[in-house]
Chains A and B, each alone.
Chain A
Amino acid sequence: MFALALIELPLLYSEVYRRQGGHRMITSAFEYHRPSDLAGALSVLEEHGDDARVIAGGHSLIPMMKLRMADVPHLIDLQDIADLKGITVEVGTVTIGAMTTQHDLINNKALLAAAPIIHEAALQIADPQVRYMGTIGGNVANGDPGNDMPGLMQCLDATFTLVGPDGTRSVKAREFYEAAYMTEREDGEILTQISFPVTNSGFAYEKQKRKIGDYATAACAVLIAKEDGKVTSASVAMTNLSDVPVLSEAAGAALVGTSCDAIAMKAAVAAALQDIDPTEDNRGPVEFKIHVAGIIISRAIARAWSRA
């Protein structure tokens, strides 16, 4: 008991500080907006410019606000905008509203049939609580290199719809990411939906992470189409191995026409590793990340091929 008391003393102090507000994480003050339609959200964005930001699930933005790395005088909550939710699969195209949560993606049967790779990847994002809140729109729009959906969207050759004061435009996922947290989206625009072709290719999303809830040390999305025992098309994209998601056209090209044998696989992995540019962080030094990436890419290709 006495030994325990020694340990508990600092905890007690921290609890006192906590009650006084001393150790509490408090964001900057902000005005809260909850528009019921997209026009309302766009008008608040237009009125306040750089001082306004939209919040979707908030599980990237709120932590940044708590750390005071994000200061958002006007927070625009999109949760009431019904048009931004839902999944439709029609005439060969999947369309997903930006406010659709990872939990919704995982549990949607039509989506599972139309693009099972989404199900496989979404289950590897964060943890159950975060998946109830985290949205596909937030995941792709934030521009965080650690997010899983951007690489996956490049693999699927998805298109993002952006709505702003000047109207609506489409941007390819493969052209959306400029640098960490820098995307094609203009400040006054909201990313409203994501669409991509239905796919029956062999698929895999392989992710190496230190623990549940962590970002990838390395992750890789692969789609492979097969005919007569040969690869007819292949798409290989990687997560958290550069400051943007990386689609390796060379890796895909190395697989096409082959039977995904050991030589083709080795060539594809080598090509993919040429396209990445990982940086050292608490997940390990560059050499380690390249090593892990090589294993993850080859596993993803092998699994996608086995399902093709």
Chain B
Amino acid sequence: MTNQIIKMTVNGEKKEILAEPRELLIYVLREKLGLTGAHVGCETSHCGACTVEINGKSVKSCTMFAVQAEGAEITTIEGLGSPDNLHVLQANFKEHHGLQCGYCTPGMITRAHRLLQENPNPTEEDVRFGISGNICRCTGYQNIVKSILSAAAELNAAKEAAQ
């Protein structure tokens, strides 16, 4: 089957990619756009390591064909912050040791980012329910939850200070 051109906006930049319709979004992001932040974990939509944001939704990019994202706005972990300028969530994961091996972390942070957009004042239960599509095999989740709650508090404090 032939390649086709797929247009999408990734981390604010317009991209045109040549891909077969059957290519999964995760592989197009990683291999054609060089965005290796989103990870391939289970490849079966269970683990959440491949989570990216598409048109304001948290999506497991292993369970979407790239062609389905034609015209979409996509944000990956690379679009949230950089090593020199960490996103508040990234800084808090670092501060609270919200990771051990780090494999699930990009998915966790991308998912947490959307969760805080929709619910800026989550309870611990909200956070646990909100990240229930992301599996971590190292931490036991304790510090991940702590990191997200702390990031939420920091974001809210910054918002209040700005007003």
Q: Which residues of A contact B (CB under 8 A)?
A: 18, 24-32, 34, 55, 58-59, 62-63, 66, 75, 77, 79, 103, 126-130, 132-133, 212-213
Cross-chain contact A32 with B67 (CB below 8 angstroms) = yes
Can you list 28 contacts pairing A with B, beta carbon distance less than 8 Å?
A18-B40, A24-B27, A29-B1, A29-B20, A29-B21, A30-B1, A30-B22, A31-B1, A32-B65, A58-B63, A58-B64, A59-B45, A66-B43, A128-B58, A128-B111, A128-B129, A128-B133, A129-B45, A129-B48, A129-B59, A129-B60, A130-B45, A130-B133, A132-B57, A132-B58, A133-B57, A213-B46, A213-B133
Query: Among residues 19 to 66 in chain B, which have CB atoms less than 8 Å away from a CB atom of chain A?
Result: 20-22, 24, 27, 40, 43-46, 48, 51, 57-60, 63-65
Please give me the residue from chain B that is nearest to A34 by CB atom.
B70
How does the 8 Å CB contact mask read for B65-78 relative to A, with 1 for contact and 0 for none? 10110100000000
Q: What is the bound-complex CA distance between A38 and B1, given in angstroms?
A: 26
Given contacts A30-B1, A79-B68, A213-B133, whether A129 and B22 have CB atoms under 8 Å apart is no
Q: Which residues of B contact A (CB under 8 A)?
A: 1, 4, 20-22, 24, 27, 40, 43-46, 48, 51, 57-60, 63-65, 67-68, 70, 111, 115, 129-133
The residues of B that contact A213 with a CB separation of less than 8 Å are 46, 132-133
Please give me the residue from chain B that is nearest to A133 by CB atom.
B59
The residues of A that contact B63 with a CB separation of less than 8 Å are 58-59, 62-63, 133
Given contacts A59-B63, A103-B57, A133-B59, whether A28 and B133 have CB atoms under 8 Å apart is no
Please give me the residue from chain A that is nearest to B53 by CB atom.
A132
Given contacts A32-B21, A32-B65, A63-B44, whether A132 and B132 have CB atoms under 8 Å apart is no
